């Protein structure tokens, strides 16, 4: 059992929790909680840390989820840490007692676009980790093909983003690109129509057909899309709003759009 805060593995976990550069250099990300461990692909799992309390409670439960986790722990192995040390390692105020270190998955644009009638979300410079995580989660629910992000979009492996995905980080392909404008050009050449969610859109999203290859372009929370990026889209579209509301949260806007595409494709 790890009992000291000066333990090198503890120090490493704390560094990974707080520094995107360290996570990137070591090609890892962290996921906390039993659900995130249970759903994690075994081939990505590098290390697992548990508290004695978590392990004791797990062994005292007989529902299928607990059995699945216990069997998986036997296969992946784990390291016990004290409650105090685990609190230092955790990124949450109320730690759940299990933390998983995983290898980052890698995706290629070519593979993402191999799908028939791709449904993509393109993100330009989003900065809120919760928004990004919610977009992945809602996107999985709506059946998107993947999420493509500009290089200065918030780190998808930010602990808050990981929590917000509720496991979708394991299943939704994603990719950062050096030049989002060039990528939009690639998509359009492949017959994928690009729609910019924009306040200056003249037509509501319900008036468009998303039955074929589709990509929704969503901009930064504070500034929206850059004009030069938005103008590369095939069309602007807007979301109807009543009252004095001028715009919607980026994650909500993206969710509405991908679910409209899902509705149309399943009529």
Q: Are residues 95 and 164 in the same domain?
A: no
Residue among 177, 157, 178, 160 nearest 169 (CA):
157
pLDDT, mean of each 10-residue run, the chain (267 residues) = 95 96 97 97 98 94 91 96 96 95 97 95 97 98 98 96 97 97 96 91 91 96 92 93 82 96 95
Cα gap 167→40, rounded to integer Å: 8
pLDDT at 127: 95
Q: Say if residue 50 is exposed, middle or buried (CB neighbours under 10 Å; 0-12, 13-18, 19+).
A: buried
Q: Does some domain include residue 49?
A: yes
Which pair of tokens denotes residue 87? 């609190």
Q: Are residues 155 and 246 in the same domain?
A: yes
CATH code of the domain covering residue 56: 3.30.1330.30
Q: Are residues 227 and 113 in the same domain?
A: yes
Residue among 123, 198, 133 nearest 153 (CA):
123
pLDDT at 96: 96
Q: Are residues 49 and 117 in the same domain?
A: no
Give the range of the structural domain holding residue 175, as residue numbers without chain letter.
109-265
pLDDT at 267: 85
Tell me the longest C-alpha to C-alpha distance in the chain.
62
Cα gap 148→190, rounded to integer Å: 16
Residue 18 Cα distances to 10, 11, 21, 181, angstroms: 13, 11, 9, 31
pLDDT at 201: 77
pLDDT at 111: 95
Q: Does some domain include residue 58?
A: yes
pLDDT at 72: 97
Which pair of tokens denotes residue 211? 């039955």
Which pair of tokens denotes residue 115? 């799908």
Cα gap 144→158, rounded to integer Å: 21
* Full 3-state SS string of 79-125: EEECHHHHHHHCCCCCCCCEEEEEECCCCCHHHHCCCCCCEEEEECC
Among 57, 75, 103, give the residue marking a domain's end.
103
pLDDT at 242: 84
CATH code of the domain covering residue 147: 3.40.1280.10
pTM of this prediction? 0.93
Q: Does some domain include residue 1?
A: no
Helix (H, G, I), strand (E, B) or coil at 223: coil
Q: Are residues 63 and 178 in the same domain?
A: no
């Amino acid at each position: 059992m790890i009992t000291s805060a000066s333990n090198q593995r503890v120090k490493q976990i704390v560094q990974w929790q707080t520094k995107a550069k360290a996570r990137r250099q070591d090609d890892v990300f962290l996921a906390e909680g039993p659900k995130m461990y249970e759903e994690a692909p075994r081939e990505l799992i590098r290390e697992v840390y548990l508290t004695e309390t978590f392990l004791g409670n797990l062994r005292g439960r007989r529902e299928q989820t607990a059995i699945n986790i216990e069997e998986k722990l036997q296969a992946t192995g784990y390291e016990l840490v004290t409650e105090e040390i685990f609190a230092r390692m955790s990124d949450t105020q109320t730690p759940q007692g299990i933390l998983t270190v995983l290898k980052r998955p890698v995706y290629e644009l070519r593979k993402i676009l191999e799908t028939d009638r791709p449904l993509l979300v393109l993100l330009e410079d989003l900065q809120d980790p919760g928004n990004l995580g919610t977009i992945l989660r809602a996107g999985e629910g709506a059946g998107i093909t993947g999420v493509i992000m500009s290089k200065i979009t918030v780190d998808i492996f930010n602990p808050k983003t990981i929590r917000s995905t509720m496991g979708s980080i394991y299943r939704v392909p994603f990719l950062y690109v050096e030049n989002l404008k060039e990528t939009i050009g690639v998509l359009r050449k492949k017959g994928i129509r690009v729609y910019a969610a924009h306040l200056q859109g003249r037509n509501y999203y319900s008036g468009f057909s998303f039955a074929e290859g589709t990509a929704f372009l969503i901009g930064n929370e504070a500034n929206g899309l850059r004009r030069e990026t938005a103008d590369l889209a095939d069309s602007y579209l807007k979301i109807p709003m009543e009252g004095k509301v001028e715009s919607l949260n980026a994650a909500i806007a993206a969710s509405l759009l991908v679910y409209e595409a899902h509705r149309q494709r399943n009529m």
